[in-house]
Structure 1
């Protein structure tokens, strides 16, 4: 019984191992430079028939242009460098994944560059080497770089794709909203003496410094004394010592904005161990909305937010810089992104 030719599956030609642009040029009957231009998207100068022949030949041979070749032709690669600070931020992986997904939608791949904590000059030198080597389409900075560093990289020919902080002391929109929400919540709950609790850690905490500065601004706007900064280790004795010193200096009640939920839990249980009322003598609010803080008693009050929405300004900035959707007239983040998850510690 014979088969109808239309019912026979047509298999694609087998991939040819190690196919080169010369092989594509030979099969298509064009020069290698023509192959290079067409496969890198520069097709306006060629006839539609020529473009079709080159693309068909590349598909038949399984040829994929190298990233290095694209970089030489276009003057840049399709890579974006994500500069991540040497930070104690607990949800940094979630932030990286959200930005990487957005960039993938825009046709870019992410190379993550971590600040290893060797100092600002060493971090910038390493990034400059990355820029020279990869010729990235641009850099997205998560707080790893100063405004001067960003200027230096732009002068080197690398676009800065993330929006620059518009506020004093380089505070970005996300950290501004988080810290302001923390401070205003504590004040609304009746606390007129505030503190900011950092995590004791060998890593740097640029986000903590930004948030502490914003908490100080909110206190000044409300006519309250400047907040006290404390450093809290994640061990019971150390946390109790830090809180005891704070209560001795500031008295009771005191509202404490914490750098993350882990610090918030350490402070809350230190207060209970010192027989301080929570809330009452001590009010505590963390950041992150982590599940652990909602499983203990007292439940931790915290700031919760959608990570993908919180990096929306970065997506819009990249899209605008790369010729995609227009950037919003107002690049600020919606206040509804950062919400208080009311627990039992405020």
Structure 2
């Protein structure tokens, strides 16, 4: 890079001088419009950008355009396989519409969720996606910011905000009905105690409708470790249930590890169904029968709602589809 530019940040004016064009032409090249630039001129500008090491100021560009081409995503923990796939689906949906996605995890202990929301909005994002459960005060904060927002992965309506989710109760009910169809009568549920889970309600409704007693209820964190611990507790209990509904694939995989270590065979001794439909569910053995959340469809809907900019504050619910594999006792699907 030329010496005169080493001691300070390179500006758009520097690029224009180097390329022998106006700053407006530089803007047209970098923003791919609105006016067309001749190919040779465009190449001169791009060469100047490379030589000078110019890095456009995204925030300034956003301000000059009146809005940013970037969405902000607040997600609880993107190490979780479900949230990782949701992040990828949202990123793809954003990119398909010419937007980028800034992802922030809300489980940071040193920064509150409210602070993270304010920080995201300060970066001139044009829309906010929240993949986490908000408190009443956090919801009020999002409403007060007057920025297109959508809450995704909810159990139901989020008052005052656009929200998207899956009918967890119906999905769980379908999964338990499938287990009942195998003739299993003692069916346990393993899920979170953090708040009432619609999946637990679906388990209860399916067993009650079939006039079967409720099986064992085990509350555990949504993690591999939580699933492992739940599996140990089931094995060390008075008796092993004949089948289990796990509230997530992550919990189910942790349970598979605990069962395998203790000689419990799935599905011969304990059949299992889970929830979410993450990719990893197809790469354990036995593969998991799981209620699949339509993540790409949900992501496309969320991004469309931000771009559309409507004042709609409704809740949109999708259906989870049961994907049959071997963990429930069904034979290996034929391809």
Question: If the length of structure 2 is used for normalisation, what is the TM-score?
Answer: 0.65
State the SS of the aligned residue for 2:64: helix
Equivalent positions of 1:202-241 (< 5 A) are 209-219=197-207, 222=210, 224-226=212-214, 228-231=216-219, 233=225, 239-241=231-233
Equivalent positions of 1:96-115 (< 5 A) are 96-115=87-106
Whether contact under 8 Å (1:77, 1:135) holds in the other structure is: yes
State the SS of the aligned residue for 2:91: helix
Cα distance in 2 for residues equivalent to 1:60 and 1:178? 55
User: Structure 1 residue 310: deviation in Å?
Assistant: 2.4
Whether contact under 8 Å (1:286, 1:302) holds in the other structure is: yes
Equivalent positions of 1:47-58 (< 5 A) are none
Cα distance in 2 for residues equivalent to 1:342 and 1:66? 52
Equivalent pairs, count: 298
Cα distance in 1 for residues equivalent to 2:328 and 2:202? 24
User: Structure 1 residue 160: deviation in Å?
Assistant: 1.3
Of the three residues 297, 314, 319, the one matched with 1:312 is: 297
Kindly name which structure, 1 or 2, has the bigger radius of gyration based on alpha carbons.
1
Structure 1 range deviating more: 150-159 or 55-64: 55-64
1:269 to 1:105, Cα distance in 2 relative to 1, 3 A: same
User: Structure 1 residue 108: deviation in Å?
Assistant: 1.4
User: Structure 1 residue 114: deviation in Å?
Assistant: 0.9
Is 1:145 the counterpart of 2:155? The answer is no
Whether contact under 8 Å (1:255, 1:283) holds in the other structure is: yes
Whether contact under 8 Å (2:173, 2:202) holds in the other structure is: yes
Aligned to 2:176: 183
Aligned to 2:119: 129
User: Structure 1 residue 267: deviation in Å?
Assistant: 5.6
Gaps of 5+ in 1: 1-16
User: Structure 1 residue 85: deviation in Å?
Assistant: 1.3
Gaps of 5+ in 2: 331-335
Whether contact under 8 Å (1:313, 1:331) holds in the other structure is: no
Question: If the length of structure 1 is used for normalisation, what is the TM-score?
Answer: 0.64
Cα distance in 2 for residues equivalent to 1:94 and 1:155? 30
Cα distance in 2 for residues equivalent to 1:342 and 1:22? 63
User: Structure 1 residue 256: deviation in Å?
Assistant: 1.1
Is 1:285 the counterpart of 2:308? The answer is no
Aligned to 1:67: 58
Structure 1 range deviating more: 85-94 or 66-75: 85-94
User: Structure 1 residue 313: deviation in Å?
Assistant: 1.9
Of the three residues 279, 290, 296, the one matched with 1:303 is: 290
Aligned to 1:92: 83
Whether contact under 8 Å (2:132, 2:153) holds in the other structure is: no
Whether contact under 8 Å (1:140, 1:162) holds in the other structure is: yes
1:323 to 1:229, Cα distance in 2 relative to 1, 3 A: same
Is 1:79 the counterpart of 2:66? The answer is no
- Give runs of ≥4 in structure 1 deviating > 6 Å: 34-42, 168-171, 234-238
Of the three residues 165, 175, 193, the one matched with 1:172 is: 165
1:236 to 1:257, Cα distance in 2 relative to 1, 3 A: closer
State the SS of the aligned residue for 1:239: helix
State the SS of the aligned residue for 1:98: helix
